[in-house]
Structure 1
C-alpha cells in the first residue's frame, strides 16, 4: 500500500506501489515513503566486481553533504530477491535539503565511465 509522502522537497518523488523496481524505467530520484528491500549483488551483476571502484569514485567526485551511506546492492519492492535490480543506493539524511538530481546524474556518468550499463541509482531519504 502506498504511503503518503511527508517530504516538502518538490524535487523528490515519493514511492508508489504502481512503480515497482521490477519495471524497465529508472527509479525516481528520491524515495522517502517506501522502505526498499535490500539484497547483496549477485556475482553475475556488473556491479559485483566493480563495487569498490564505483563507491570510491562516487566518494571522490560527488559532494557528499547529507550522505549517510553509499553502496551497491540489489533493490526490490518485495521481500524476495527474485525481481531485485542492481542499484547504487545512496542513503541520505532526512533533514538535509538539497537538489539530488545532480548527484544522480553524476553517479550515472560514473557508471557509464566504468562501463556499467545495468545498474540503477537510488537516493533514499532515511526515515529517522
Structure 2
C-alpha cells in the first residue's frame, strides 16, 4: 500500500475512481476477517466502519477543505494507536453515527503524518472549528 503525502495527492486519488473512504485503525491486516463493533452496545456490526471522502453536492469550498475536515474528524483515535488509511468497498449498512459499513474492502493508501498535519492546519485556519450548530 502506498502512502499519500499531501491533501493535493489525496484529492487526486479521490477523483480517480470508485468512492473512497477513510478509516482510522491499526490497518487493513489488523481489520481483515472481522467487522467493527459498536462500542456503546457491544454489538458486532456487519462491516468495517469508515467515512466517505467524497464531498457532498452542496460543498462549494475547495475539496481540500472538505478532505481536511474529514481527516481531522477522528484524529483523537491516533492517540489510541490508530492510523488513517484510505479504502474502498461495498456499503452493506450504516453504523450508529450513520457512517457506512463496508465489506469487500480494498486498501488504497496510508495517510502520512505530514498530510495529517497539513489537514489539521488547514482545518483550524479555514473552518470555524468547534462552533455550535445552534
Where on the TM-score scale, by shorter chain, does this alignment land: which range? under 0.3
TM-score by length of 1: 0.28
Higher relative contact order (CA 8 A, sep 6+): 2
More helix by share: 2
TM-score by length of 2: 0.27
More strand by share: 2
Q: Which has the larger radius of gyration?
A: 2
